Structure 1
Amino acid sequence: MELGREEDRPQFLLDSLTVELLIKVLRDQDLPIITLAECRVVCKKWKAIIDGSELRNKIWNKSVLLYYDECIDNSAYFCFRDGWITRNITLGPKHVVAADGGLLCFNELFSTEYVMYNPVEDKFLTLTVPHEIDRVSTVFDGMLECIMVGLVVDQSTKHFKLVLGGVLVPDRRRSLIYDSSTSKWSWIIHPFPSLLNWMEVEWHSGRCVVCNGCLYWLVWDPRVMIKALLIFDLREETWNVLAEEVMEDKPGALQILAYEGCVCLLAMDWTDVEFDGRGYDGNFLGHPMVRRMDASLIRRTRDLWVMEDGRAFKIYASGGSDVFFVFEQEGEDLEVAKYWAERDMMFFLPEPPFRGAHELHLWGRFPHAIHDPWCVIIPAPGVNAEQEWITQQQRHL
């Protein structure tokens, strides 16, 4: 029997489908997000379709939990409701210093280079701070040092602003801002607030929280026991600071997050505190935009495990109603849970494809090396065409 030639053999059935029909099949069959993500590796045709606007938005349409720890590898793990998507980051060993609106900002200590990354498009944009702005130097010995980094993204226009607060040169009272709508760096006129010991505070700065046109940072000075809430008003481009003395404190004892249009504070010290009794009563609650975290929501996490005395966790949100809980203790399995507001339910997410190695007990030995690898973003599909975004050379799922 004569063997048929390659070109005479029937094509794979799905290869013969038109692009329009294939889009309809993938879009309308209510496939799990993780299945759509896995379909990207079938072939170039499928990858182009799933990365297109009709299906891309279906994958990246809710709050997404991110894990990225450059100390382990250069992979970023994005968690959806029913699975994880892995993206290889080819930007080098940089830290995530800010995140908002689907964009991640990477930077190295003392570097003038800030890299914006959009995981939906898998594209990045490099921003370099000029060594001189308005004839005023920004660097010392070729290095840029600042205390705070903040990012806010306009979801409708996809433009963003990047704020660098407490720039070392010419002094700590100066701040820089980058506006993507003008593609320019400029000095912020209003002076950066001063506390007693910024040289210590800079090592303990947390990632910023964006809420109602303002950026918030929660910082801690261990030498003079001062905790401060820094606030930057994007409309007025002005700084404000609320500070208070604390008798005893430690890194991570107070968490800050944006939730349902407010900035929420949650005490994280479990010492001799009952699970349902956690709270924070400091002066920061006097700010009109700041409130306690919803106690009823925190209590509902009791249903996720059987322990009687409560369990330490980190909590993350991006301004909406969904909340992620990360249970990551030394010697225990890493677990991630989510409160899904649309269904008013809490559940554990699939097991992460990695094991977290971010241990806070190293804080005393390497304070400058501690970076929280977790954050939550609301993806903004697409990037502003006015910037020169570059597609990564390598892509991995």
Structure 2
Amino acid sequence: MSDFLAIAVLFLALLALLGAGVWVAFSLIIVGALGMALMSSAPIGPILATTLWGHSTSWALAALPMFIWMGEILLRSRLSDDMFSGLAPWLQRLPGRLLHVNVFGCAIFAAVSGSSAATAATIGKMSVPELTRRGYPESLIIGSLAGSATLGLLIPPSIILIVYGVATEQSIARLFIAGILPGLLLVSMFVLYVTGYALVKTSAIPTDGGDTTLMDKLRASRRLIPVISLIVGVIGSIYLGIASPTDAAAVGVLLSLLLSALNGSLSWTMFRESLMGATVTSCMIAFILVGAAFLSVSMGFTGIPRQLAEWIGSLELSPYALLAALTVFFVVLGCFLDGISVVVLTTSIIMPIIEAAGIDPLWFGIYLVIVVEMSQITPPVGFNLFVIQGLTGFDILRIARAAFPFFLLLMIGVVLITLFPQIVTYLPSLMGR
């Protein structure tokens, strides 16, 4: 069988399996085995066994369930309510007023949950009813929530960055640090957009009655202390070199349990539900990762990545043209798959091309996450759109239209980190000294 025909068969087989509803992990393993059978004489069984065992026992992977469990605990605790109440008094004089709670609330919660969907659900449960009751524009309520919730994929600790680090053998600690400045950049862009909207359409923003004194604001800020302490405990320990990402994840779980106990939201039921939710999600992601690892190994035996890299190289695309093509590819792919699946499905094929083009794999990880963020608010399968649809009951295209300006802002973010890669690489370079 010719190489081209074999590649077409494998691609169609993967589409057929995913379209038939076969689990992503099983689909990856089946396609990997089929590829080895068609294009290699290597023994499939022993390679499958050693690959699954080797990648399922990775120490770096241990951080994943811990961070997911931490997010599950926070999702069920009252810390998110405290965060809303602590932020609101400080934002009443800023153009856009309480709409900024969506942006800052998502940014803060993203820094302790690591999940885009959990961020959208948690902040949305609080902000959507309250902002709607106060008369804020529906499109901006939904759009700012949908766009800002994607920050859960980028601001560390990010689950998808752990997945990328494990799949590409990059340092998870350096990826976490690399995500800080791009995350702050996107937060600033979202704030500026909401501020500009409020200044242009002043009549659309309601006037919230009653000014709060400085003492009222300071008293409200006390409710932010637990969340800020958690962020400092997790991210600070990694940045200062005190703890590895896995150690910091364990610290985060202990701190989130302690804080939940202190505010009275910790119960046996909540503990059990958070643990089971984390177990289900972690098993799903880990299973996908080991399936992707086998596909990556099998592709190495078939030689497809090398041939694809040579073909891309023969096109003589500049790095910018390559990134532009990959951006379209990832956004389209992300319209039909969740972010983690996009990463694990493509890294084995894309990374040789990226390395051949001289693109820094660390920088590419942050680029990839931002592009996947864009796909989270793109129909028909933008996961954040589904979460917000569940909260509001609105039509998904209506939500997508509201989120479109934030899609464009994310696109601008991709352009900025491409033109100024130091936004991504500066902090990791300090860490390496």
Same fold? TM cut 0.5:
no
1 or 2, which has the higher strand percentage? 1
Higher relative contact order (CA 8 A, sep 6+): 2
TM-score by length of 2: 0.23
| Higher share of residues assigned helix | 2
